[in-house]
Amino acid sequence: MLTVTQIQNIIPHRYPFLLVDRIIEIEPMKRAVGIKNVTINEHFFQGHFPGKPIMPGVIMLEAMAQVGGVAMLSTEEHHGKLAYFVGMDRVKFRRPVVPGDQLRMVAELIKARGSMGKIWAEAFVEDELVAEGEFMFALMQP
């Protein structure tokens, strides 16, 4: 298990854009499971949408990608690198995520070759799939 402080030692994201509260399972360069506690205090709920707060899909995708980034960057070989998005495929949203939900995100490495990587990620609220997609990354020195 990784705390938020340990996550910050692996990926460079910081408030308000660090979207993973905890990593509850990790197998470096294979798989990671992360948690995001969705609260009404999130900055994006001010405008998305007043009176009907819904977590923006792009924010969910970023949170899922951050979990994948932790899996890919948690090795000594990739320590200090940045994971840049190069593409997304087969993204689907199944239902809205609202304040009070806990997002559990599972990211599994599909392929890694050189500085390129591809993950499949899914996000759940309780046991219900709420979002999924394939993410491609380039690992680069800052």
pLDDT of 117: 95
pLDDT of 54: 98
pLDDT in tens, 18-75: 999 999 999 999 999 999 999 999 999 999 999 999 999 999 999 999 999 999 999 9
Q: Which domain holds residue 104?
A: 4-140
Report how far residue 55's alpha carbon sits from residue 67's, in angstroms, rounded to the nearest whole number: 17
pLDDT in tens, 76-108: 999 999 999 999 999 999 999 999 999 999 999
Number of domains in the chain: 1
pLDDT band at residue 1 using 50, 70 and 90 as cut-offs? very high
Active site residues: 48
- Taking the whole predicted model, whether its pTM rises above 0.85 is answered as yes
Reported for 39-42, long-range contacts at CB under 8 A and 24+ positions apart, including other chains, are 39/99, 39/100, 40/99, 40/100, 42/99
